[in-house]
């Protein structure tokens, strides 16, 4: 593969330029969960479309419709579909990624402005979206640009699907994938998604499973307005007291979900699965160092991995409407909204999960004898995904990892969720490979999110190597 060596050499040569390109996209604050940033999310989608079109791709901008966000009716950001190359003698690879990001404020604890990329001496490229998912999304573009610059024939036809709502439940995307399965996505041989992370910091991985997510709002409201706690404390049912009580009933402090029936659908661990935990690169020592404190529940790596990959979990995220500023305001909030989510696993069904959670909270609320009103709303949900890692798509991914990093990849499952993975698999009817670029300690969704320069640059090489391996692979051997 002489042309691949030329490609690697040019990626090396362009390293600093690629950091500047990442700086340009991080600077667009495309936060999908913030109504005031919707214009920026749309601008980010338009940026991507323009760059791909400059390169010669054919793009289609699909509008998923409208969204009601905090009472404001907003345009959903466009889904950018693209096709780069259309040679019937080549295989066709569909890549998916998202150009929206999680919210980020300096006041959350960032060391610098989240939307100004900072290159640290130790190689960290710090900025919101650097690893999730702007680095990888940009990586596919830079891979294609570098082939063109080097005069190397692009080894496959590339289709792409980039969305701007992944961090907010991928609203509207399922319908588009279903509608385009026999349209834009027709002829896809394999799918590749780069939107998760390695298990450690040195060994790359291929991922063949994701957890699902079911997100809930628990709303408790009582008086028509906030009240003075000196005047009304002890004489009215306080929404916040009811809410705190209900939230505390959902999960114990060992992570065990308290909703009856929730574990009934969880697949049992098989002997074959037990073996898969033996060989992966994962240590509590490294994890505790990343966490900055030992706050681990389990005393061994295997149980930690099982609770990340294959058991359901429940996390409490926040309370809207509660007093949260500094100072000692003596208020009784009139309406509060608790937010929590469950990560779901094979073979849990989202409908059943919502039913069990709602019934449990209804029963617990009834026990309180409160005169407040309570409501449980499932705001978004996504299904888990599990696939065999034996498909030639994974073999091509493994070969590409060996070519770039000189090691065999770990085979992992992911604790996070990319709900459209299953939608692609079911509707486009092609195998999906998850090929992450970022490392375990990147801090996606957290403060000081980063991608290491090594991961970013070698990741761009990996994308190219993977496409060349796909071109050379007999996919019919599946
Ligand atoms: C794994 C992926 N990069 C990711 O972060 N996915 C999100 C998806 C989501 C669901 N609701 C909101 N965001 C996640 O796993 O939290
Ligand atoms: Zn992501
Ligand atoms: Zn994310």
Return the CATH number at 456. 3.40.630.10
Domain end, chosen from 382, 406, 436, is at 382
Among candidate residues 459, 437, 457, 444, the one with its CA nearest the CA of residue 126: 444
Domain assignment of residue 281, yes or no:
no
> What is the CB neighbour count within 10 angstroms for residue 131?
29
Catalytically active residues are: 100, 166
> Ligand 2 centre and the CA of 391: distance in Å?
24
399 and 375, same domain (yes or no): no
Domain assignment of residue 289, yes or no:
no
Atom index in ligand 1 nearest the CA of residue 167 equals 13
* Cis check: omega of the bond before 244, within 30 degrees of 0: no
Atom index in ligand 1 nearest the CA of residue 343 equals 15
353 and 251, same domain (yes or no): yes
User: How many residues in total does the chain contain?
Assistant: 478
Domain end, chosen from 360, 382, 404, is at 382
pLDDT attached to residue 194: 98
CA distance 189 to 478: 11
Does the CB atom of residue 132 touch ligand 1 within 6 A? Answer: yes
Give, for all 478 residues of the chain, the pLDDT tens digit: 578 999 999 999 999 999 999 999 999 999 999 999 999 999 999 999 999 999 999 999 999 999 998 789 999 999 999 999 999 999 999 999 999 999 999 999 999 999 999 999 999 999 999 999 999 999 999 999 999 999 999 999 999 999 999 999 899 999 999 999 999 999 999 999 999 999 999 999 999 999 999 999 999 999 999 999 999 999 999 999 999 999 999 999 999 999 999 999 999 999 999 999 988 989 999 999 999 999 999 999 999 999 999 999 999 999 999 999 999 999 999 999 999 999 999 999 999 999 999 999 999 999 999 999 999 999 999 999 999 999 999 999 999 999 999 999 999 999 999 999 999 999 999 999 999 999 999 999 999 999 999 999 999 999 999 999 999 999 987 6
129 and 191, same domain (yes or no): yes
Q: Which ligand has the minimum distance to the alpha carbon of residue 99?
A: 2
Residue ranges making up the domain that contains 398: 2-210+385-477
Domain assignment of residue 298, yes or no:
no
253 and 169, same domain (yes or no): no
Does the CB atom of residue 196 touch ligand 1 within 6 A? Answer: yes
DSSP class of residue 25 equals H
365 and 461, same domain (yes or no): no
Its pTM stands at 0.94
433 and 367, same domain (yes or no): no
159 and 183, same domain (yes or no): yes
Among candidate residues 383, 342, 419, the one with its CA nearest the CA of residue 168: 419
> Ligand 3 centre and the CA of 130: distance in Å?
11
> Ligand 3 centre and the CA of 214: distance in Å?
15
248 and 117, same domain (yes or no): no
123 and 226, same domain (yes or no): no
Does the CB atom of residue 170 touch ligand 1 within 6 A? Answer: no
Does the CB atom of residue 418 touch ligand 1 within 6 A? Answer: yes
For residue 298, give every residue at least 6 positions away whose Cβ sits within 8 Å of its Cβ, in sequence order, or none. 304, 307
Interface predicted TM-score of the whole assembly (ipTM), two decimals: 0.98
206 and 216, same domain (yes or no): no
CA distance 219 to 335: 7
Burial of 35 (0-12, 13-18, 19+ CB in 10 A): middle
Does the CB atom of residue 101 touch ligand 1 within 6 A? Answer: no
439 and 456, same domain (yes or no): yes
> Ligand 2 centre and the CA of 224: distance in Å?
39
């Amino acid at each position: 593969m002489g042309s691949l060596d030329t490609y690697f050499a040019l990626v090396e040569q362009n390293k600093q330029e690629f950091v500047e390109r990442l700086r340009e996209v991080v600077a667009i604050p495309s936060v999908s969960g913030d109504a005031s940033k919707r214009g920026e999310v749309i601008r980010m989608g338009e940026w991507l479309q323009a760059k791909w079109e400059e390169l010669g791709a054919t793009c289609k901008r699909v509008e998923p419709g409208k969204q009601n966000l905090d009472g404001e009716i907003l345009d959903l950001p466009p889904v950018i579909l693209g096709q780069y190359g259309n040679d019937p003698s080549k295989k066709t690879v569909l890549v998916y990624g998202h150009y929206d990001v999680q919210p980020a404020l300096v006041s959350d604890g960032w060391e610098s402005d989240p939307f100004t990329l900072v290159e640290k001496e130790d190689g960290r490229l710090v900025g919101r979206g650097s690893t999730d998912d702007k680095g990888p999304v940009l990586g596919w573009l830079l891979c294609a640009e570098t082939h063109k610059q080097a005069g190397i024939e692009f080894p496959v036809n590339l289709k792409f699907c980039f969305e701007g709502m992944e961090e907010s439940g991928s609203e509207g995307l399922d319908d588009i994938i279903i509608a385009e399965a026999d349209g834009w996505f027709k002829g896809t041989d394999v799918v590749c998604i780069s939107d998760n992370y390695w298990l450690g910091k040195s060994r790359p991985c291929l991922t063949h499973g994701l957890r699902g997510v079911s997100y809930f709002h628990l709303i408790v409201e009582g008086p028509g307005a906030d009240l003075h706690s000196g005047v009304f404390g002890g004489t009215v049912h306080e929404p916040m007291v009811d809410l705190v009580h209900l939230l505390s009933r959902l999960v114990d402090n060992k992570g065990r979900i308290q909703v009856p029936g929730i574990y009934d659908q969880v697949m049992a661990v098989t002997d074959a699965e037990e073996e898969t935990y033996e060989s992966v690169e994962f240590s509590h020592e490294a994890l505790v160092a990343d966490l900055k404190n030992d706050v681990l529940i389990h005393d061994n790596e295997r149980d930690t991995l099982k609770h990340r990959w294959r058991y359901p979990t429940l996390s409490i995220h926040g309370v809207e409407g509660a007093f949260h500023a500094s100072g000692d305001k003596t208020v009784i909030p009139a309406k509060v909204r608790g937010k929590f989510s469950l990560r779901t696993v094979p073979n849990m069904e989202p409908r059943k999960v919502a039913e069990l959670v709602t019934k449990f909270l209804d029963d617990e609320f009834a026990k309180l004898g409160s005169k407040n009103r309570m409501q449980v709303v499932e705001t978004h949900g996504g299904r888990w995904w599990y696939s065999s890692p034996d498909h030639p798509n994974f073999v091509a991914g493994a070969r590409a990892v060996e070519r770039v990093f000189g090691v065999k990849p770990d085979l992992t499952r992911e604790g996070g969720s990319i709900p459209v993975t299953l939608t692609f698999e079911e509707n486009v009817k092609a195998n999906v490979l998850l090929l992450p670029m970022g490392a375990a300690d990147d801090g996606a969704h957290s403060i000081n999110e980063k991608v290491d320069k090594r991961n970013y640059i070698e990741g761009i090489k990996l994308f190219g190597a993977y496409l060349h391996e796909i071109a050379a692979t007999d996919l019919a051997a599946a």
